[in-house]
Structure 1
């Protein structure tokens, strides 16, 4: 029995009308801890637990850490999560609800990650939020479920932060014989490390992050994710914070499901008819996110408008 659930795959009438094509939603926001992260994290944690790990340590802006905390509670293994100072109070509360030890450190994920690595001991397993083959293997299962449903999309739309989801979806597409299905990889302008790498032809470290989509906040995308763009058809797209926030509110109205701006970056592309004009059948990964509240999203919107 797996710790993640088989999530619904539904046709979205509102998005299909907006995009002028058939839009399918893989509702990863309905995972028990609120995001797709559970697929890969559970796979990694169970792997290390079977080999004797007595403690899990992770670094995360929220969702990956929440997945580690959830799995740790289910397996009876203590968890320490180091989060950067940009992590929302809501995210920290959710981590503590899962009985995780929460340490707040640094202005960026990179600083939090460095501290997390220093906390490792012989009995601990480090669970990376996005850069680990075990994670990609677990994330790939969401494509397996789409294939089992008998629906082959013309394109897949997903959000990119560190690149774990992108890496897993590429693996899933390729192992299901769908190497011809392109991915539309979406970032916000203020956290576009994959876009910068593609433009430069090599990994780029952003000087700073400037986005309300904090869970996309990796200054450098994983090397494997960048290599995926060279081995699989991947188109990099950028949206504004405003577009992501508008997509949050519109998706809540259309599907009664609240997602984070990081997830809504992909939805923002789907709400723009021109972006999907050349496709007939599109899969959007609703990656989820449990750490934002409606009040916070509305406050961000008000601040941008001011």
Structure 2
């Protein structure tokens, strides 16, 4: 079967360990073929749907999920259409098109793009790939934890960024199936894209009126129901950082590890760089470096001005 994702390295980070005051290891999902963890879940879903007879894959995305779908479709030999909102950067659109997908720009937000994608996926041989709310995606993302389990003992906490919650749902699934159901997950969002944190505070899933964070790839106005339920069942600690902290962490990571990641990924790195108290009881922490291909080093450096 065509491999649509790659096992990624787990490395010890001396700079992050020094900043956090504990051992920090990095799961480098930024090294996936499309530049983010999305290769795992989106790739799994694409392969499954094509095996079931799909001949046209339609994705709605702020960038990374569409890029992963385009990559998967090219490898599987199936045409892909990616619907992106107007907020998706020109760079993201170019990267998706370079993978051979058709790019359609529609609406001011991901939810509007998704509504249009639903119409494009109406033919019987087409299928809509949801970027975060599909059990096939969660199962694909869970392979990340399978690799962690193969590398060694359980960490004391896993830190990850949350947009729509697909990565959170997959990681919790992976922790459970590897006998690590007691490992806490630090679920990090940016202010202005914090649908999970607001939902947990109110005890019900809420829809944000708009995404106001610069971390547009975390731009789901409503977290998946499954992610919300798991955040209440599993030991999940919700953290919200501001845009400045996410950007600062991305720039520091560029200096420390010579890798470019989006502010959406910088949000989770900020928890370690800024030694958030949610890590106080953890001796060894794994941070999922979820990546993101739509930011450049020039973007990060310009944001410092």
TM-score range, shorter chain: over 0.9
* 1:84 matched residue in structure 2: 85
Alignment match of 2:180 (pick from 178, 202, 208): 178
Alignment match of 1:144 (pick from 146, 149, 157): 146
Range with bigger deviation, 193-202 or 272-281: 272-281
For 1:151 and 1:5, how far apart are their aligned partners in 2?
Answer: 21
Contact 1:81–1:103 (8 Å) recurs in 2? yes
Q: Secondary structure at the match of 2:160?
A: strand
* 1:154 matched residue in structure 2: 156
Q: How many aligned positions are there?
A: 302
- For normalisation by structure 1, the TM-score amounts to 0.97
Deviation of the 1:51 alpha carbon: 1.2
The CA RMSD over aligned residues, in Å, is 0.9
Q: Secondary structure at the match of 2:304?
A: helix
* 1:216 matched residue in structure 2: 218
Q: Secondary structure at the match of 1:140?
A: helix
* 1:279 matched residue in structure 2: 282
Deviation of the 1:274 alpha carbon: 3.8
- For normalisation by structure 2, the TM-score amounts to 0.97
* 1:130 matched residue in structure 2: 132
Alignment match of 2:292 (pick from 289, 293, 297): 289
Within a 5 Å distance, the mapping from 1:192-231 to structure 2 comes to: 192-231=194-233
Deviation of the 1:230 alpha carbon: 1.4
For 2:303 and 2:95, how far apart are their aligned partners in 1?
Answer: 21
Q: Secondary structure at the match of 1:129?
A: coil
Contact 1:193–1:220 (8 Å) recurs in 2? yes
Q: Secondary structure at the match of 1:301?
A: coil
Contact 1:19–1:277 (8 Å) recurs in 2? no
For 2:300 and 2:115, how far apart are their aligned partners in 1?
Answer: 30
Q: Secondary structure at the match of 2:220?
A: coil
Q: Secondary structure at the match of 2:43?
A: helix
For 1:300 and 1:106, how far apart are their aligned partners in 2?
Answer: 26
Deviation of the 1:139 alpha carbon: 0.1
For 1:34 and 1:136, how far apart are their aligned partners in 2?
Answer: 18
Q: Secondary structure at the match of 1:16?
A: helix
Q: Runs of 4 or more off by more than 6 Å in structure 1?
A: none
Contact 1:20–1:277 (8 Å) recurs in 2? no
